[in-house]
Structure 1
Amino acid sequence: MNNRRTYAMFAIVTLTAALGALTQTSMNSMLSGVQESFGTPESVSQWLTTIYMLVIGVTVPLVTHLARRYSVRTLIFVALAFMLVGAVIAAFSPNFGILLFARVLQAVSAGIMLPVMQTIAMTRFPPGQNATAMGIAGIALGFAPNIGPLFGGLLVDSWGWRSFFWILSGIIVVLALATLAFVRKREHQMHDAHLDYLSALLSTVGFGCVLLSFSTAAYRPITDPAIWTGLVVGIVCVSWFVLRQRRIKHPLIHMSIFKSHTYVVSFIAQNLLNASFMGITLILPLFIVNVAQMTPVDAGLVFLPTTILAAVFNPLAGILSDKIGPRPVIVVSAFLLVAGSGAMAFITADTPFWLITALQVVRGIGVSSIIGPLNSWGMHKLPVENMIDGSAFFTTVRQACASFGTALMMLLISVVGGALGYNLALGLSALFAVGVLICSVFFVRDLKS
């Protein structure tokens, strides 16, 4: 495949993945409009965001089988089809149940594209460009989900929540036409790829229960038996799944990925990173409204500078990593993450809005600059045929770690209460960030070493 078609294919896949991320977080600011349309209580409406995360978590492991059996072109069309059908159904949905079903279809699309995007970045670009490609892919992982709530809120206020799905449908049609024009079928897939149905079942039940338990724990009492029952079932199934992958001839995910030292370090660091920063997207707006007594508009605006800068620092960090090596970029980014997170743990009701925003900018630059280089460094020693395994397993566990971090932060807020509860939650985020820094300083080495 020539460079022009590689770049075109990667752009299409990245934009499709970005749409999936945008669709996931835009709903956060559209829930009030949905509640007004269908008369659903907030506890029920929250399922529109919860189900999206759950479906991504159970879809991603299955993508490893699909990627071995079908071409990238086919996977793109399948993902676009799920997204388009889901968007049209959502736009016409006459009741909450139909809208929830539409969200499931959209989440399947996002679950397909996320690991495929990262695999393309590592396998279709020559050495020395992988971190740059991962940095560009970071736009889908960082910029798109951050801009989602603002984008969704603007549409709700202007044309109603259904307008989001009409706009989404138009973009999908354009991407489908671009796929027809620029992406050629590549016969590298394994037509005899075998699907182990028990592994698929264990993965679906295991990761689904873990994700559901953590997401439920964020807004229900920690003593709720449903949380612990789901968590135990999930851990048992995931453990069985991992053990089974090591024993069968055709594993759904090859656990040999953990023989790579760089992958293990990156896996740990990135999951700590997600536990640290994903919860902040919920905790910080709550602090601004409930403790600092500012407006919901302020709660949204605090992320705006970071979101804009993410579109710059995601690819810039990748380019620098390819030019000077990943270690200095990763270490400096980790220091920025710790500095911003640590200082934010001490904000009070009297802290000026501009200072809170500035600290979030420091954190945001650290997050945006570390994602691409750390990901490409961690996967660069994996065999080409196992890239999809490494990407898929990380993407799935990342969802669980993000939910875990958010649940712990919300638990601290509910148990301790008041401003101190928020400070402890922000301090926990900083503690996870310190873990990222430790991994970066002591274990990340440049590729030539």
Structure 2
Amino acid sequence: MATPPGRVAPSVPETVHRRRWAILTVLTFSMLIVVLDNSILNVAVKTIATPAPTGIGATQSELEWAINAYTLVFAGLLFTAGLVGDRLGRKNVLLLGVLVFGTGSALAAFSATPSELIVYRAIMGLGAAFVMPATLAVLMNVFERDEQARAMGIWTGSVGVAIAIGPFTGGVLLEHFWWGSIFLINVPVVIVALVTMAILVPDSKDPNPGRLDPVGVLLSIVGLVLLVYGIIRGGELADFTTASVLLPLVGGLVVLALFVLYEKHIDHPALDLSCFAKPAFSAAIAAMALVFFAVMGVTFFSAFYLQSIRGYSPLRAGMLVLPLAVAQVVFAPRARLVVDRFGARPVCAVGMVMVAAGLAAFVFFDASTPLWVVEFMLFVQGVGMAHIMPPVTLSVMQALPREKAGSGSAINNTFRQVGGALGVAVLGSLLSTRYRSEIEGHLLSVPADARSAAGESIEATLGVADAMGPAGKALVGPAQDAFLDAMHLTAACAAAVAVAGAVVVALFLPGRAPARQAPEPDALPEREGAGR
């Protein structure tokens, strides 16, 4: 049926509109496994470090690169993956990304050496780079504007849930199966996702993509890979002043500056820089990076607090962070209601303050802090996250036309990924440096050849103490005190970053939108086939 004169034609076809919630379910399911698998590995590192047949005898450096190989490829290709989706079709890119991710997962599960695991994790990162921007771009193209906020709340809630339940899922699998099960579990999920995507998800792409910008794409990849590598390397060494850290960091920033200059002076840029001139867009991007900087850094050390200080198993430690996930499941889909009433600016600012409060609480935690207090503050942090992610993500996506949804999603996720990587590296470096300075005076009884390694982390100190037998028991108390002191300092810095995020959104995000008048009856949208 043709749209009568005077009516506004819907931008989403009726056949797609009818199955939009089923499509969203498939998209969030795909996002869940991609994000969850990155957090699940943190629980398995001890097992993987164990010699065969229990593990594969990975060293500390090899374990770090098993995690970082994923992050490096993922962050470096996110922007490019979004552009490819806009040009070639988001459904095709999504199917390809899920297939590559599943293949990498199957290979990683049966890795015989740490080197194989690192390579297969990089393949998983390649697949994930194409999945994440495509899911959000498809979402923006199957929902009308008035439902995008609700859909976005569910999508962002799934990301938060995946981060929180990863350790729990990993703990369950490791208690009942071998270490490779944390990767092999993805394979049946990927198969289901591929079938449902092929049936349900519609294709969409930019109808007028314009000329290719290979130079801009290449500059973006090189710049992001160098920058993220420098960040990761600095976190590994707990030192951002060495040449092996400064050279890639500075090189990455220089290449990205060249990328910006190049994009400003060509008539077919891969990235339209004019969107950054919009305060709401830039503020949303900055808020995304800052909140993930703070939260991912604390997620890193909270696992050590719960396991090394409180003595919980990986499974129980994973269960203890579930309030963070529950809060996001409950509140993220409903954040749009609060935003509709009060506006994005105050809602996001209050959310940032709640996140800062949850992080600052770690400054006061010790080995005897009541567990309910820890759980409550994790819940508060989750509620804050649930009221930040949906509105800032929506601000980014709605600042661009639908045909550029892949690029918008890529920008959104790139800043989030770089912010998270920077948080883990900088806050992890701060934690490590402070811990070493506090514990060094207590390591005089440790054999000289093991003294340096014993000061790297609380796990290393406790491992040496255990190997020393009764003589090592004297190290346990000082190690715990040194870690708590380092954790308090790191948490305070993370909270300060979250407060900075609150200031940014309070100054630059838009306030409450003016109330819209109900449209006249003859201006209501009519869908093709309605009333049949």
TM-score (norm 2): 0.78
Q: Determine if contact 2:62/2:114 at 8 Å carries over to the other structure.
A: no
Q: Determine if contact 1:26/1:148 at 8 Å carries over to the other structure.
A: yes
Shift of 1:275: 1.1
Change (3 A) 1:44 1:246: same
Residue 120 of structure 2 aligns with an amino acid whose one-letter code is A
Shift of 1:349: 3.9
Match of 1:433 in 2: 498
Residues paired across the two proteins, number: 447
Shift of 1:358: 1.7
Hey, what's the Cα distance between the residues in 2 that align with 1:61 and 1:103? 19
1:396 maps onto 2:436 in alignment = no
Shift of 1:65: 2.5
Shift of 1:171: 1.1
Residue 89 of structure 1 aligns with an amino acid whose one-letter code is L
Within-5 A mapping of 1:217-232: 217-222=234-239, 223-232=241-250
Residue 261 of structure 1 aligns with an amino acid whose one-letter code is P
Shift of 1:206: 1.3
Q: Determine if contact 1:262/1:379 at 8 Å carries over to the other structure.
A: no
Change (3 A) 1:332 1:149: same
Residue 228 of structure 2 aligns with an amino acid whose one-letter code is L
Hey, what's the Cα distance between the residues in 1 that align with 2:111 and 2:346? 50
Change (3 A) 1:327 1:192: closer
Q: Which has the larger radius of gyration?
A: 2
Aligned to 1:18, the other structure's residue is in SS state: helix
Residue 143 of structure 2 aligns with an amino acid whose one-letter code is F
1:206 maps onto 2:223 in alignment = yes
Q: Determine if contact 1:202/1:240 at 8 Å carries over to the other structure.
A: yes
Match of 1:168 in 2: 186
Deviates more, 1:245-254 or 1:43-52: 245-254
Shift of 1:289: 4.4
Which of 88, 101, 105 aligns to 1:87? It is 105
Which of 117, 125, 137 aligns to 1:99? It is 117
Deviates more, 1:295-304 or 1:155-164: 295-304
Hey, what's the Cα distance between the residues in 2 that align with 1:98 and 1:191? 42
Match of 1:248 in 2: 266
Which of 258, 276, 293 aligns to 1:275? It is 293
Match of 1:22 in 2: 36
Shift of 1:60: 0.7
Change (3 A) 1:329 1:237: same
Q: Determine if contact 2:298/2:359 at 8 Å carries over to the other structure.
A: no
Match of 1:9 in 2: 23
Which of 62, 74, 81 aligns to 1:63? It is 81
Hey, what's the Cα distance between the residues in 1 that align with 2:106 and 2:428? 35
Change (3 A) 1:146 1:260: same
1:344 maps onto 2:362 in alignment = yes
Q: Determine if contact 1:337/1:363 at 8 Å carries over to the other structure.
A: yes
1:313-348 deviation line (CA, Å, top 9, x unaligned): 221223543566434532332332233223333333
1:270-306 deviation line (CA, Å, top 9, x unaligned): 211111111111122223445x453344643431221
Hey, what's the Cα distance between the residues in 1 that align with 2:287 and 2:202? 36
Change (3 A) 1:185 1:404: closer
Match of 2:431 in 1: 413
RMSD: 2.4
Residue 157 of structure 1 aligns with an amino acid whose one-letter code is E
Hey, what's the Cα distance between the residues in 2 that align with 1:267 and 1:429? 18
Within-5 A mapping of 1:27-42: 27-36=41-50, 37-42=55-60
Match of 1:364 in 2: 382
1:103-142 deviation line (CA, Å, top 9, x unaligned): 2222122111222222333343222222211111113321
Change (3 A) 1:140 1:106: farther
Hey, what's the Cα distance between the residues in 2 that align with 1:385 and 1:257? 14
Q: Determine if contact 2:328/2:382 at 8 Å carries over to the other structure.
A: yes
Hey, what's the Cα distance between the residues in 2 that align with 1:285 and 1:227? 26
Match of 2:252 in 1: 234
Q: Determine if contact 1:18/1:139 at 8 Å carries over to the other structure.
A: no
Residue 442 of structure 1 aligns with an amino acid whose one-letter code is L
Q: Determine if contact 1:57/1:211 at 8 Å carries over to the other structure.
A: yes
Q: Determine if contact 2:288/2:392 at 8 Å carries over to the other structure.
A: yes
Aligned to 1:218, the other structure's residue is in SS state: helix
Match of 1:353 in 2: 371
Hey, what's the Cα distance between the residues in 1 that align with 2:148 and 2:418? 26
Aligned to 1:358, the other structure's residue is in SS state: helix
- Structure 2 residues without counterparts, runs of 5 or longer: 1-12, 436-481, 516-532
Hey, what's the Cα distance between the residues in 1 that align with 2:179 and 2:321? 21
Shift of 1:89: 1.8
Shift of 1:192: 6.3
Which of 249, 255, 261 aligns to 2:279? It is 261
Shift of 1:254: 1.9
- Structure 1 residues without counterparts, runs of 5 or longer: none
Q: Determine if contact 1:257/1:386 at 8 Å carries over to the other structure.
A: no
Shift of 1:350: 3.7
1:361-389 deviation line (CA, Å, top 9, x unaligned): 21121112211122213432333334332
Question: 4+ residue runs of structure 1 moved beyond 6 angstroms?
Answer: none
Shift of 1:50: 0.5
Which of 513, 520, 523 aligns to 1:447? It is 513
Aligned to 2:145, the other structure's residue is in SS state: coil
Aligned to 2:117, the other structure's residue is in SS state: helix
Residue 487 of structure 2 aligns with an amino acid whose one-letter code is Y
Match of 2:448 in 1: none
Aligned to 2:167, the other structure's residue is in SS state: helix
Within-5 A mapping of 1:133-148: 133-148=151-166
Aligned to 2:237, the other structure's residue is in SS state: coil
